[in-house]
Amino acid sequence: LPEDRDQPIEINADRAVRNEKTGVTEFVGNALLSQGSLSIAADTITINYNDNGIRDILAVGTPAVLHQIPNPEQSQVTAKANRIEYSVGDEVINLKERASIDQDGSVITSDLIRYDINQSMAEASGDNRVNIIIPPSNARTTNPPTSESDNSDAIPNDPK
C-alpha cells in the first residue's frame, strides 16, 4: 500500500550479525520482514543502511517470497525469486533467478523481473524466454462451480 513506506520495518530471524565496518546487518534463518502490507520471507535477509536509514534489502531463499498489496483497489501481488533486491529509496524490487510475479492469476516468469512498486509495473527480461500467463477474464472474476452447485452434467453420486 502507498503508506507501507511510512511504516516501521520489522524483522524476525533465528540469528543476526551486524558488521560496523560494512554497515550491514544479516538476519539468518527463517528470516521474515514486514512493513505494512509488504512482507518478505527468506533464508537470509541482509540490510544495508547508511546515515539516512535503510538503503536496500537483499533477501535470499529457495525461493524468497514477497507479498504486497499495491493499493486498496488491487489484490495482493506475490513475487518469488532466489534473490529479491528491494531498493527502499527508489521503491523498486529486482527479482533475480527463477523469478515470478503473480497477481489475480496473471503470472509472469523470467530470469529477471523489475517491479516498480509506485507504478505497480513489472518489466521482465533475461536469457531465457519470458513467460506470461493471463487467465481468461471469466475464469478470473467468477467462482468456479462447486460440486453441490447446479452443475447439471456432474456425475451423480453412485446410489449404492
Partner 1 sequence: MARRLLTLALVAVLVIAAVLLVDNPTLEEPQQQAPQQNTPGAIITAATTRQYDANGQLQYVLQVDRAEQYFRFNQQDKPLATSRGYTDLSSPRLVLHSDSNPQPWHFSADHGRTENNGNLITLWGNVVAEQALAGGGQYRIETSRLRVEPLLQQATSQQPVTIRSPQGLGNSTGMSIDMPQQTVTLNSQVKATYEAK
Residues in contact with partner 1 by the rule CB under 8 A: 5-21, 23, 25, 27, 35, 47, 49-54
User: Is 93:66 a contact under the CB 8 Å cutoff?
Assistant: yes
Which residue, 26 or 108, is less far from partner 1 as judged by CB? 26
C-alpha cell at 157: 453420486
User: Is 108:101 a contact under the CB 8 Å cutoff?
Assistant: yes
Which residue, 47 or 84, is less far from partner 1 as judged by CB? 47
Return the residue matching grid coordinates 507479498: 67
- At closest approach, how far in Å is the CB of 19 from partner 1? 5
- Cis check: omega of the bond before 63, within 30 degrees of 0: yes
Which residue, 48 or 106, is less far from partner 1 as judged by CB? 48
- At closest approach, how far in Å is the CB of 57 from partner 1? 10
- At closest approach, how far in Å is the CB of 70 from partner 1? 18
Which residue, 10 or 104, is less far from partner 1 as judged by CB? 10
User: Is 57:47 a contact under the CB 8 Å cutoff?
Assistant: yes
- At closest approach, how far in Å is the CB of 103 from partner 1? 25
User: Is 80:65 a contact under the CB 8 Å cutoff?
Assistant: yes
The enclosing H or E element of 18 equals strand 15-19
- At closest approach, how far in Å is the CB of 11 from partner 1? 5
User: Is 110:99 a contact under the CB 8 Å cutoff?
Assistant: yes
